[in-house]
Structure 1
Amino acid sequence: RPPILTAGKPSPLCFQQWETGCLAYFEIKAVDAAVQVQRVAPGLQDTLVQAWYSAYREAFNAMEFTEFMAELRAEFLDSDWAEKICLDIGEMRQDKKPWSEYLNDVLQQNSLIRGTPEHMDDTLLRYHLHSNMDPILRDRAKRDGSGTAVTFKLWKDIVRKSAEGLRNDELRFQNMVQAEVARQQKKTGIVNKPSRNANTSAATTDAAVGKQKNCPPLAPGERLLLDKHSGCTKCRRFYVDHRAKTCPNPFPDPATYKPLTEREALMAKTKNSSNAAPAAAVHELDENENSNLLVAAFVDDPDLPSNVLGNGTDSEEYVSPLHHPHLYWDCHVDGPSSPSPIRCRALIDHGSHTVLIDESLVQHLGLRRRRLHTPLKIGMAISEGNSGKELREWVKIKPVSLDGRWSSRTLRAVIAPQLCAPILLGGPFLFSNKIVVDHESRSVIAKDNNYNLLQPSPPVPARNDSLHCADESAGLVAAIRDRIEAIAEQEALEKRAELLRQEFADRFPTELPPVTNLPTDVFHEFTLKDPNREIKSRQYACPKKWQEPWK
């Protein structure tokens, strides 16, 4: 029997499942391509879909099955359904998910838009997964050689093995912590302490343990983790701004408490550095001056409110929003390792004094790295002290608009690891290309040709053929007129020249006089001392390299 599409709200997933079932049915039953639509049409049980099919039955039966599915999606799905799925894929992060689960979610969503312009090929999938995976896993996979993988399948195998290795290390560390906790509990006699009464049963001992109100004492390994990652020994949380004496939080629940691990500490560090207002800002550290040059502005946080606090009824004074969306420019960049230009999203930040590029994008494009004469030391805008990283390499890039109508001048971009965007376009980009940024109208305009990077205007339509022919005819008539005028002027000049020759005929003889008529009188004579002497001396200095040839 052919597959059935039951009644309900249509979605890309249900259409894909029905299409997969139909293709399997065609293969098993060896259905001819000319009657495929007609064979599976009875499976459309939704009343609205069935009415739509019945209205154009003959046209649909004459189509191929792939064409029919395209018409079905165009009719019952939103016009931008593929773009919405593509945006959902762009927002997917691994976070605390296992690698295999995150990979399957991305591949499943991408399969829904197969056959559309928004579908991501293996190159874009690899870059997206690499940029949004867990930072610890990304570093581990880089050490395992993921950057040298030639194919997408080989890259997935390397990352999978790296994820398994991290999981094994985490389990091994947990076992070590649990063993240490058990050793400390046994030493202090908190758990499994033998009773002095002979008639005390094991159930009684377990009940006493279950009534324990406090968590087990910190193991040495847990205490080291808290000290290393700015934790509190009371609430046992990492990266907090208090210690045990000033802790406002209660003790952990002993019923749900689990021993602390290195992975939890690193995850807390990542969450603390990516949450929010401190999410951003990288700045250049100056050892001699107190002023800092900002490199990047704050990164958006969806959890923050987009308006002012309060309901605005107490005062009519205008108060600006807490934050404003960033300006992103979708562009193309290419490199030696890329067979075709790659589409990426660049963050336009006029508060940055330099241009930055993510290290993973540099590796993917195969750009030539160059050393900076002086390392660029950067740090977080909100940090403890002036500690930061040093950037030592830069590359050349030339972003181009998606429609190919505008291209940037060649930029020198400093390589930065784990950048918040693939490319961050700062002051050098805006200055070199004479770009004006208007946040109110959300426009980024190049002054040379008034091209708006964020909202490009449609191309100028071609001229009408009739007008084009008329212009050509007018140009031809003008050229003929200019030629006639030039010939007439030349004839007038020749007539004037003939009149001048007639008037001054004695000055324009027709032939030269004979030589015999020339005068032979001698007015002066020079007598040579020795007419047969050969003059060899020279009156000026001669370079040595020419002395021998001139002899």
Structure 2
Amino acid sequence: MSSSVKPKIAVVESHSNKLPTLHEGEISPLAANDFEISCLNYFAAKDIAADRQVAVILGCFRSQAVNNWTRPAVSRTRLIALTFAAFMAEFRTKFLRPHWEKTTRAQVLGSRMPENESFSDWATNVEALHSLLIGTSAELDMNQLRYTLEAGMLPTLATLYGADDTAPAIEKDKFDDWRAAVVVIDERRSFALEENRKAIERELNLQKRKAPEASDDRPYKEKKVFGEGRKGSSSKPASTASATSSTSSGRRCPVLTADERKWLDKYEGCNKCRTFFAGHEHADCPNDFPAAEGYKPRTEAD
């Protein structure tokens, strides 16, 4: 049965003016890279001669597997005779996972710019990942890295980049100049997106302020019928005449209070005629709104 416990990952403890320490655990390409850089910084700071560099760093390992490799006298003598670069190449071959270079290279080539990340940040992350391949057969040259970043751009950035007259025309061997030009294009893209977002937000807020306050309990004000109230008009239905008489004064009954709405909801009432247990709802209410004159808010006691 395979274990579900993830292996402990080795970490590098770096020190200023001291050699680094590589702790116990599975050694990743990143840990190997960090260890190498820390050692090189120490060699430069302490002016360690090239023929002494490997001998100096053999005491930096807290990993049992690495110490098993370096401890035997024959192995130790052979390793000390290597250059530091040759030592690190052999170190990677022995302790990193098989085909790690191909795996890392595939991650670099397949990287895609995230929606919520700037081109500068994304490119920096891709370059950091690619730095693990420096000195190996899987290392990309600067032109290949440029093509990788071009292929992984967001569609919106790729469109602006393709329409630009400057960045695509920069010579292939001037990677840093090309990268800086693309950063400028992406900053313009980000600014335009932010301005567009703000404009949409302002428009939505404006529409909210203009929109009438919708409420299903607002009394309906009937339109005045032409000829209403003239003598001899017998075509108007009685219900309409009744409604007109109740609203002819132009006064409306008060809008429902929060308490009224609560009691009407509780006792299955109608928000229009404001009757408890009405057996109908506002939309199909056959009655008119209560008259404004003498209106009393509904209470639970009703």
Question: SS where residue 58 of structure 2 aligns?
Answer: helix
When the two structures are superposed, what TM-score results if normalisation uses the length of structure 2? 0.61
Deviation at 1:95, TM superposition (A): 4.0
* Residues 1:111 and 2:128 aligned together: no
* Residues 1:14 and 2:28 aligned together: no
* Residues 1:139 and 2:159 aligned together: yes
2:118 aligned to which of 84, 95, 98 = 98
Query: Could you tell me how far apart the structure 2 residues matched to 1:79 and 1:8 are?
Result: 17
Query: Could you tell me how far apart the structure 2 residues matched to 1:100 and 1:158 are?
Result: 11
Question: SS where residue 149 of structure 2 aligns?
Answer: helix
In the other structure, the counterpart of 2:19 is: 2
* Residues 1:148 and 2:165 aligned together: no
In the other structure, the counterpart of 1:23 is: 40
Contact in 2 for aligned 1:38/1:61 (Cα 8 Å) = yes
Query: Could you tell me how far apart the structure 2 residues matched to 1:86 and 1:124 are?
Result: 11
* Aligned pairs for 1:128-527 within 5 A: 128-144=148-164, 145-150=166-171, 151-188=174-211
Contact in 2 for aligned 1:123/1:152 (Cα 8 Å) = yes
Question: Once the two structures are aligned, what percentage of the paired residues are identical?
Answer: 27
Structure 2: gaps (5+ residues):
1-17, 214-302
Query: Could you tell me how far apart the structure 1 residues matched to 2:155 and 2:208 are?
Result: 35
Contact in 2 for aligned 1:92/1:106 (Cα 8 Å) = yes
RMSD: 1.6
In the other structure, the counterpart of 2:221 is: none
Which has the larger helix fraction?
A: 2
1:59 aligned to which of 78, 81, 102 = 78
Provide Cα deviations, 1:187-229, integer angstroms capped at 9, x if missing partner.
1266xxxxxxxxxxxxxxxxxxxxxxxxxxxxxxxxxxxxxxx
In the other structure, the counterpart of 2:277 is: none
Q: Which amino acid aligns with 1:132?
A: G
Query: Could you tell me how far apart the structure 1 residues matched to 2:46 and 2:110 are?
Result: 41
In the other structure, the counterpart of 1:39 is: 56
Provide Cα deviations, 1:454-513, integer angstroms capped at 9, x if missing partner.
xxxxxxxxxxxxxxxxxxxxxxxxxxxxxxxxxxxxxxxxxxxxxxxxxxxxxxxxxxxx
Q: Which amino acid aligns with 2:208?
A: Q
Q: Which amino acid aligns with 2:168?
A: G
* Residues 1:81 and 2:104 aligned together: no
Question: SS where residue 57 of structure 1 aligns?
Answer: helix
Q: Which amino acid aligns with 1:114?
A: I
Deviation at 1:86, TM superposition (A): 0.9
Provide Cα deviations, 1:261-280, integer angstroms capped at 9, x if missing partner.
xxxxxxxxxxxxxxxxxxxx
Query: Could you tell me how far apart the structure 1 residues matched to 2:43 and 2:125 are?
Result: 28
In the other structure, the counterpart of 2:15 is: none
Provide Cα deviations, 1:334-388, integer angstroms capped at 9, x if missing partner.
xxxxxxxxxxxxxxxxxxxxxxxxxxxxxxxxxxxxxxxxxxxxxxxxxxxxxxx
Q: Which amino acid aligns with 1:152?
A: F
Provide Cα deviations, 1:146-194, integer angstroms capped at 9, x if missing partner.
211111111111110111001100111111111111111111266xxxx
Which has the larger strand fraction?
A: 1
Q: Which amino acid aligns with 1:169?
A: A
Deviation at 1:51, TM superposition (A): 1.3
Bigger Rg, which one: 1
Deviation at 1:116, TM superposition (A): 1.1
Query: Could you tell me how far apart the structure 2 residues matched to 1:49 and 1:117 are?
Result: 24
Q: Which amino acid aligns with 1:129?
A: L
Displaced runs of 4 or more, over 4 A? none
Question: SS where residue 4 of structure 1 aligns?
Answer: strand
Greater RCO (Cα-Cα under 8 Å, separation 6 or more): 2
Deviation at 1:50, TM superposition (A): 1.0
Structure 1: gaps (5+ residues):
191-551
Contact in 2 for aligned 1:141/1:158 (Cα 8 Å) = no
Deviation at 1:90, TM superposition (A): 2.0
Query: Could you tell me how far apart the structure 2 residues matched to 1:37 and 1:184 are?
Result: 72
Q: Which amino acid aligns with 1:25?
A: Y
Provide Cα deviations, 1:288-327, integer angstroms capped at 9, x if missing partner.
xxxxxxxxxxxxxxxxxxxxxxxxxxxxxxxxxxxxxxxx
In the other structure, the counterpart of 2:239 is: none
In the other structure, the counterpart of 1:70 is: 89
When the two structures are superposed, what TM-score results if normalisation uses the length of structure 1? 0.34
Deviation at 1:104, TM superposition (A): 1.6
| Paired positions, count | 191
